Amino acid sequence: MRSLGVITLLSVAATAAAPARLQPANVPLVTAKSASAFVDCFAASQDQRRAPWWFVPKGDGGTFSNLGSPSVRAPYFLVVSDRGGHRELTIKDAAPGGPAIQGVRQCM
């Protein structure tokens, strides 16, 4: 019984000492371009790269993604939000250096 307690204590200590996987904060990028100018530029950049994409507009911007394309294993989501004097761009799950990141950099 005592050895069971020691084993339990050791396993709890090992779990607590294991490094936690930290998620990077999704700090939005900011652009002075209008929402429609950014949307048009980003769509053209994805077309130039022959990357699959779709866009769902909403009142203050919209969302880009490549979800649903047969060639995509891990889809990204790019949210464009109009905040008055600037637009915020929040991108999640995009491949580093991939077409979505390249398009955002090109169109900012």
Tokens encoding 54: 């779709």
What are the residue ranges spanned by the domains of the chain? Answer: 25-107
Q: In CATH, which of 3.30.70.100, 3.10.50.40, 3.40.50.360, 3.30.310.80 is domain 25-107?
A: 3.30.310.80
- Say what the pLDDT of residue 87 is: 94
Residue 15 pLDDT greater than 80, yes or no: no
Instruction: Give the Cα separation of 3 and 21 in Å (integer).
Output: 31
Report pLDDT for 27: 82
- Report DSSP letters for 84-97, one per residue: SSSEEEEEESPPTT
pLDDT, tens digit (0-9, with 9 covering 90-100), for 34-88: 999 999 999 999 999 999 999 999 988 999 999 999 999 999 999 999 998 899 9
Task: Quote the CA–CA distance of 42 and 99 in Å, as a whole number.
Answer: 10
Helix, strand or coil for residue 57? strand
Question: Does residue 15 or residue 22 have the better pLDDT?
Answer: 15
